[in-house]
Amino acid sequence: MSLDDLNAPLGQDKKKSRLPKLPVSGPQILAAVMGLFGIVVISWALFVNDPLGGEPTAVVSAKAPAETPAKADGDGKQYSRRDGPAYAGSAEPTAIKIEKGEPPPPGSKTVTIIDGSSGKRQDVVIPGNSGGSEAPAASGKTSAIDPKLLETTRHGSIPQIAADGTRPSAAFAKPRALPANRKDAPRIAIVISSIGISASGTADAFGKLPPAVTFALAPYATDIEKLAMRARDENHEVLLQVPMEPFDYPDNDPGPQTLLTTLTTAQNVDRLQYLMSRMQGYVGITSYMGARFTASEPVLSPILRETAKRGLIYVDDGASSRSVASQVAGSNSLPFAKTDLVLDATPTSAEIDRALTRLEMLARDNGNAVGTATAQPGTIARIADWAKKVEERGFVLVPISMVAIKAKSS
């Protein structure tokens, strides 16, 4: 080693090593890979036979399940159905085969099964349940409305007295046949209002209350026609609630098409006819709120004349002690009933029970009494319990038409 080698800086004579340069850049390589992938996908779509065409599929077995031996007679009774009659015959519907071009049996359903490997499609027909809930009930009742009891208006059909004198209040009444020893017993009519507003309350009213209880349907109820039809088929008399102006209107607004003291007679009668067209099959109308409206004879008289003209009854909901409905009804020979007691003015179980006891006292003193309540679950529960035992105490529960009186002109 020479002296010059010791004094020379390190690394001066070494050649620097460099990485070889690639002929293409990284992004170009990525683009080439993606292009190749696209070519593969397109080639597969063009040349590979895929019978399902990329659709989502599910593979199911078409084999019938093996039969299991029947259990003893007493086994499984705790699992009996609660939602309707069981299938007649076998426990489950069995798939059937139909020939090509042959129509499927009535009530059956067709299910298409796709083979996951070959893509072959097969239609399997499952027969309908002739004894299940889809079959119409053979109740013997009819909900049809006789056209002779309807008049066509610009709002739709509204009640009218038929040419032969039949009145809707009589045609749609559901009177009870009372035995001879009960005909003079004190009568109690219960009207449940706002049917169709609360879903739970409406369900409880239909499920828990006896047919003698009258249902008043709000004109804003969902599926009001179906509710009215169901009520009639289950032997409930039906009333139409007519919203009328209260004293604190518009802060307290009964809803659209409310009858108002500020409107003309023609406007209020037109609104009444609109409300009457919302459903059919009711025996009469009842006021909803309306403390100010029912206290004014000039505005109430045309409404009750129209009600009498339509062959209906009128039920005052008892919202105001200043109501002149009874006098106006008398001057128009309109069958009329007035609420004696609002049963759930204080909506607690104890107060409702006390109100029902007071209603019995009124019926015993006067021969009949009318109570109203709203379709709320708690209210329905108390009235349902009361109704089970009221007749044991010497009263009869009747629909509203059996306590409505045809007042004579004074």
SS3 249: coil
Which CATH number fits the domain that encloses residue 278? 3.20.20.370
pLDDT at 143: 65
Which residue do the tokens 């505005």 mark? 299
Residue 240 is assigned to a structural domain of this protein: yes
- CA pair distance 287, 321, nearest whole angstrom: 13
Name which of 226, 251, 254, 407 is nearest 317 in CA terms. Answer: 254
Residue 256 is assigned to a structural domain of this protein: yes
Instruction: Say if residue 288 is in the same domain as residue 384.
Output: yes
Name which of 336, 280, 325, 279 is nearest 303 in CA terms. Answer: 325
Instruction: Say if residue 252 is in the same domain as residue 370.
Output: yes
Instruction: Say if residue 202 is in the same domain as residue 337.
Output: yes
Instruction: Say if residue 118 is in the same domain as residue 219.
Output: no
pLDDT at 365: 96
Distances from the Cα of 189 to the Cαs of 210, 218, 341, 373, in angstroms?
A: 12, 19, 11, 11
Please give the model's pTM, rounded to 2 decimal places: 0.66
The tally of domains found in the chain comes to 2
Name which of 114, 117, 95, 113 is nearest 105 in CA terms. Answer: 95
Inter-residue contact 198 to 407 (CB < 8 Å): no
SS3 363: helix
Residue 43 is assigned to a structural domain of this protein: no
Q: What is the dihedral of CA 174, 290, 201, 340, to 10 degrees?
A: -60
pLDDT at 352: 97
Question: Exposure string (b/e) for 333-351, b if CB count within 10 Å is 16 or more?
Answer: ebbbbbbbbbbbeeeeeee
Instruction: Say if residue 231 is in the same domain as residue 353.
Output: yes
Inter-residue contact 410 to 337 (CB < 8 Å): no
Instruction: Say if residue 181 is in the same domain as residue 319.
Output: yes
Which residue numbers in the chain have pLDDT < 70?
1-24, 26, 44-143, 406-410
Tokens representing 326?
């009874």
Residue 307 is assigned to a structural domain of this protein: yes
CA angle, 167 then 171 then 172, to 5° = 120
Which residue do the tokens 């509204």 mark? 158
Instruction: Say if residue 295 is in the same domain as residue 185.
Output: yes
Half-sphere exposure of 398 (CA within 13 A, CB side): 24
Instruction: Say if residue 191 is in the same domain as residue 99.
Output: no
Instruction: Say if residue 127 is in the same domain as residue 171.
Output: no
Name which of 348, 316, 312 is nearest 332 in CA terms. Answer: 312
Number of helical (H) and strand (E) elements in the chain, helices listed first: 10, 14
Chain segment 276-292, per-residue pLDDT in tens: 999 999 999 999 988 99
pLDDT at 31: 77
Residue 153 is assigned to a structural domain of this protein: no
Question: Exposure string (b/e) for 34-63, b if CB count within 10 Å is 16 or more?
Answer: eeeeeeeeeeeeeeeeeeeeeeeeeeeeee
Supply the range of the domain harboring residue 127.
Answer: 94-131
Inter-residue contact 159 to 309 (CB < 8 Å): no
Tokens representing 371?
């109570």
Instruction: Say if residue 115 is in the same domain as residue 207.
Output: no
Which amino acid, residue 286? T
Distances from the Cα of 109 to the Cαs of 97, 105, 123, 394, in angstroms?
A: 12, 9, 10, 55
pLDDT at 92: 40
Instruction: Say if residue 173 is in the same domain as residue 307.
Output: yes
pLDDT at 72: 42
CA 62 to chain centre: 39
Inter-residue contact 112 to 105 (CB < 8 Å): no
Instruction: Say if residue 107 is in the same domain as residue 201.
Output: no
Residue 75 is assigned to a structural domain of this protein: no
Residue 174 is assigned to a structural domain of this protein: yes
